[in-house]
Structure 1
């Protein structure tokens, strides 16, 4: 009787056991994946080349974008450029490697900027030169020179030791020009220039720093680059898009763009550092300007540009959009026939310029400003 009961139970459970076995078999089976051509990657950044198929069409559109960029800066409001009147206030030899000078020069008829200038010792011919732009730090040019704070951001010192002439200009509301209300306070600037923009101001001044470099016999006018982190990062592509004398540029952790940015109104704050004061009414109404970062950076082509950014730089993760943006910018460099002149690197180091990023940026400068040393180093190794 007991044996019969067991048999009945086993018999009645058979369908269930079969089902369980089938499920396990399904779980163990590998999914079937079919080969295919790569699908097109579409994003909101596609408007950069909307309707543009040929280099000629792109170059025509590029002129329109440049005009939009100058209008964004309010470039027509900049003052007449004064004579430089370059003055040297301090000269120091650093470790037998280079001479560091504290200099000043005119940027407006009634306003002078200061900068640190590094000139390597033993130059036998005009050298490549770099404009090194600091971030939002009260004594930013001192940090860029390696005199205070973070050695990761001592670009002038690093690059001068590598053989570059380097200028590290002060941002116009920092260093020796900190306003009465504090560093990076732009209220006094906007009272003096109510129709100009802070971005137009610092871009114009950084362009004058290029004038300083070109006034020096130690500098090769055709080999000038620019780089920077954070405020200096987006300052770099603003400058390179503005001034074609910049032959190679690298932005590290530049700010978030206008689109896909839930805090876009910070580009036009109502206090402290106000980038684009005139944009505030439209931004508060949800309307963005007619040009964005991908279009500004595209103006740099065919000159070389490298974008370095942290995927986890800020919250929400707006910078993840930067990958899609850069994929589209690459198409511009391809249209101009110089894909080798564009690159981007993304990492998980947040808002930093850690060793790997610096090494890549400096190598990018070498590759485009002093390619001969990259080959020499390979041979020596």
Structure 2
């Protein structure tokens, strides 16, 4: 008997595999379209999901939207390419938000506007502007150089508005608004940032996008689901969802940053909210949404469930006849905004917010 150089026989080396047809992939996320057979069924169900979403963030407890009363505090020209301004504006009658706004200097007409959301960092807008810490997360600087008008607001417990208890402590917020949620608060404020963009003559009000990483990543999803003025969104390394999550109670901590205070008793009792991330993402359809995540960002089993969840979201986009408007990218670089992730996010915005000529290829002249 002939023996191969690794000590195994030819018979042992032969692997027998038979042709097979693809089988359906079933998962816990299939309830997204359970009982939905037609586009009309989905339109009706989508209204139910939106109601559940607004109840989750307790949108009914938001305050009346005040006049913006925009103030300009300083202006800097960056590398002769764009103008960066520190501004502030009203978000409640007794609260002003601060943000950096970047405007390219040589626009030929109104440009797309982007809300750039920072992660959990105390000097959020400064990092988004490329002034401190990690330049990988300098979205305002990167996008202004690509021809976008960008607003990078501080999260409501960061930057100019750090509470006495410290960055990202929501205790004072819940004393002021005991029935609201932190997610409702920041989503509402990010919607007001869109209002600011739409006051600017340099912005095409019909071409608004949002991007973010980490806290800003799921903030992008929450905003796009909340405000249909968002035409393109990209969320990077967003938080884990409710189901298939062994640490789900982190969504309702009893200290520091509390996303949803009111759901804590149910979570501790093992009961989840009546809506989850796949259903919130589906509210964005048919508008453009890109999800980026790391398989090794937190619990690997949970992140693998994310892939199954996203497959089901694609089913909704297909039902909406807009599969080209949904995509996801899964990598192994942990909780990062690596080069390839940034290029995908920025390219996604180019595709969905800029004229087709901006991304069109052409042949080389002879």
For the aligned pair, the TM-score class normalised by the smaller chain equals over 0.9
C-alpha separation between the residues in 2 aligned to 1:248 and 1:36? 38
C-alpha separation between the residues in 2 aligned to 1:357 and 1:373? 23
C-alpha separation between the residues in 1 aligned to 2:355 and 2:207? 11
- The correspondence of residues 15-94 of structure 1 with structure 2, limited to 5 A, is 24=9, 26-31=11-16, 33-94=17-78
User: How many Å apart are 1:53 and its aligned residue?
Assistant: 1.5
Q: Residue deviations 1:173-197, cap 9 Å, x none?
A: 0000000010000000000000000
Q: Is 1:360 paired with 2:338?
A: no
User: How many Å apart are 1:378 and its aligned residue?
Assistant: 4.7
- Of 197, 209, 224, 1:213 maps to 197
- Of 298, 303, 317, 1:333 maps to 317
RMSD: 1.4
Match of 2:89 in 1: 105
Note if contact 1:366-1:373 (Cα within 8 Å) is conserved in structure 2. Answer: no
C-alpha separation between the residues in 2 aligned to 1:30 and 1:230? 44
- Cα–Cα, structure 1 residues 377 and 118, in superposed 2: closer, same or farther, change >3 Å? farther
Match of 1:273 in 2: 257
C-alpha separation between the residues in 2 aligned to 1:138 and 1:230? 14
Q: Residue deviations 1:133-165, cap 9 Å, x none?
A: 000000011000001000000000000000000
Note if contact 2:117-2:216 (Cα within 8 Å) is conserved in structure 1. Answer: yes
- Cα–Cα, structure 1 residues 380 and 205, in superposed 2: closer, same or farther, change >3 Å? farther
- The correspondence of residues 112-151 of structure 1 with structure 2, limited to 5 A, is 112-151=96-135
Match of 2:354 in 1: 370
Match of 1:13 in 2: none
Q: Residue deviations 1:334-365, cap 9 Å, x none?
A: 00000000000000000000000000110000
Aligned residues: 359
User: How many Å apart are 1:122 and its aligned residue?
Assistant: 1.5
Structure 1 runs of 4+ aligned residues shifted over 6 Å read none
User: How many Å apart are 1:168 and its aligned residue?
Assistant: 0.3
- Cα–Cα, structure 1 residues 135 and 102, in superposed 2: closer, same or farther, change >3 Å? same
Match of 1:298 in 2: 282
User: How many Å apart are 1:320 and its aligned residue?
Assistant: 1.2
User: How many Å apart are 1:30 and its aligned residue?
Assistant: 2.6
C-alpha separation between the residues in 2 aligned to 1:366 and 1:278? 39
Match of 2:304 in 1: 320
User: Which stretch of structure 1 is more off in the superposition, 363-372 or 202-211?
Assistant: 363-372
Q: Say which one has the larger Rg.
A: 1
SS at match of 1:350: coil
Note if contact 1:233-1:250 (Cα within 8 Å) is conserved in structure 2. Answer: yes
Match of 2:4 in 1: none
Normalised to the residue count of structure 2, the TM-score between the two structures is: 0.96
Q: Is 1:309 paired with 2:302?
A: no
SS at match of 1:247: strand
Q: Residue deviations 1:224-243, cap 9 Å, x none?
A: 00000000000000000000
Unaligned runs of 5+ in 2: 2-7
